[in-house]
Amino acid sequence: MAQENAAFSPGPEEPPRRRGRQRYVEKDGRCNVQQGNVRETYRYLTDLFTTLVDLQWRLSLLFFVLAYALTWLFFGAIWWLIAYGRGDLEHLEDTAWTPCVNNLNGFVAAFLFSIETETTIGYGHRVITDQCPEGIVLLLLQAILGSMVNAFMVGCMFVKISQPNKRAATLVFSSHAVVSLRDGRLCLMFRVGDLRSSHIVEASIRAKLIRSRQTLEGEFIPLHQTDLSVGFDTGDDRLFLVSPLVISHEIDAASPFWEASRRALERDDFEIVVILEDMVEATGMTCQARSSYLVDEVLWGHRFTSVLTLEDGFYEVDYASFHQTFEVPTPSCSARELAEAAARLDAHLYWSIPSRLDEKVEEEGAGEGAGEGEGAGADKEQNGCLPPPESESKV
């Protein structure tokens, strides 16, 4: 009967599964935000250059080809209309007729002449004559507009090619963040490195805590951003990123993790976004690399494995160990509880040392009195005893 009851009795409750948090920033730095219901789309056309640069490559190449092809077709059609309106197409065999453009015998020839004019090729077979003032005006207009199209499209392609986004791909962040002790204080740490030999300059690091919160008035603020100090006051946020560096956020009274223990941190729901801003040494362009860490990507009681070794005349970085961590003894309490425990210990030592000195002096005084039979009137001080001078002891 007991076995039957045990068979039908509910087993131990399983811990609730954490719901997967939607990332605000992906690990590769892409912001997971889409703009919806944008009705003022005309604003994109007011900044057409940036709009073209932000397009995908296949759309940019399509727009590049269409810009030139449509321009050539447009002016080719105008050249053909001028020839048709003047009657040049009806006097192709008349040697006494002076056409607007020599050897222009159809739309295809007009299209080729438009390409030669705009690209300044000038094969010499089709040439405009001085008896066509409307053609001269059109020639000037196409030369000016063609130069503008060249400047605009070549500028767009150059900016798109030289964008520093690809440079950010060689700036790597550790796959996990760790929490451990540094100089007796809990710190949240992550590692950043540069894979290229050409270094970046003016590098600075920032960290943001993304967590929803509710105000005292009941207002719910989704994805509230809070700064995590990584050395702004001391200048440690300015990096000389020649070899991988471990960035540390000290969990002090100003930190949002001040009262978070290991268990509380595991139950929390947040995202830490790290941002590395720098200037590319080769091009002088500003670059930004981003990454993020969710709750399950923060390892409590771990430390990063060293990747730097001293070889014969140089330092070598082993990126095979860049993401590796190892466990270290770390208290599970919060930084606040750890600071309070350290303060109590300091206070205990502060008050216990004078009392121990007094006890030691009393024991030494009692021993001297028993051995010499005198010393009852010896002068004492509050936290110890100093031996009287020889002149006073002989009196």
Task: Tell me, yes or no, whether 275 lies in a domain.
Answer: yes
Residue 201: alpha-carbon gap to chain centroid: 15
**pTM tops 0.75:** no
User: Are residues 261 and 178 located together in one domain of the fold?
Assistant: yes
Which tens digits make up the pLDDT trace of 365-381? Answer: 555 555 554 444 444 44
For the segment 281-305, the average pLDDT, to the nearest whole number, is: 90
Task: Decide which of 147, 162, 177 is a domain's last residue.
Answer: 162
User: Are residues 198 and 318 located together in one domain of the fold?
Assistant: yes
Tell whether the torsion through CA atoms of 323, 329, 331 and 336 is positive or negative: negative
CA distance 194 to 174: 12
pLDDT, residue 14, reads: 41
Of the two residues 377 and 117, the one the predictor is more confident about is 117
Structure tokens at 94: 């008349």
User: Are residues 207 and 321 located together in one domain of the fold?
Assistant: yes
How many domains, in total, are found in the chain?
Answer: 2
Which tens digits make up the pLDDT trace of 30-76? Answer: 888 888 887 777 777 788 888 888 888 899 899 999 999 999 999 99
Task: Tell me, yes or no, whether 27 lies in a domain.
Answer: no
Task: Decide which of 146, 162, 178 is a domain's last residue.
Answer: 162
Parent domain of 210: 167-337
* CATH value at residue 229: 2.60.40.1400
CA distance 208 to 178: 16
167: confidence class by pLDDT, cuts 50, 70, 90: confident
Contact (CB, 8 A) for 269 and 295: yes
User: Are residues 242 and 187 located together in one domain of the fold?
Assistant: yes
Q: Name the one residue in this structure whose structure tokens are 């268990």.
A: 263
Task: Tell me, yes or no, whether 61 lies in a domain.
Answer: yes
User: Are residues 76 and 176 located together in one domain of the fold?
Assistant: no
Task: Tell me, yes or no, whether 292 lies in a domain.
Answer: yes
Q: Which residue intervals of 35-174 are DSSP H helices?
A: 42-46, 48-54, 57-86, 107-119, 133-161, 165-168
For the segment 279-302, the average pLDDT, to the nearest whole number, is: 89
Burial of residue 249 (CB within 10 Å: 0-12, 13-18, 19+) is: buried
Contact (CB, 8 A) for 83 and 97: no
Task: Tell me, yes or no, whether 125 lies in a domain.
Answer: yes
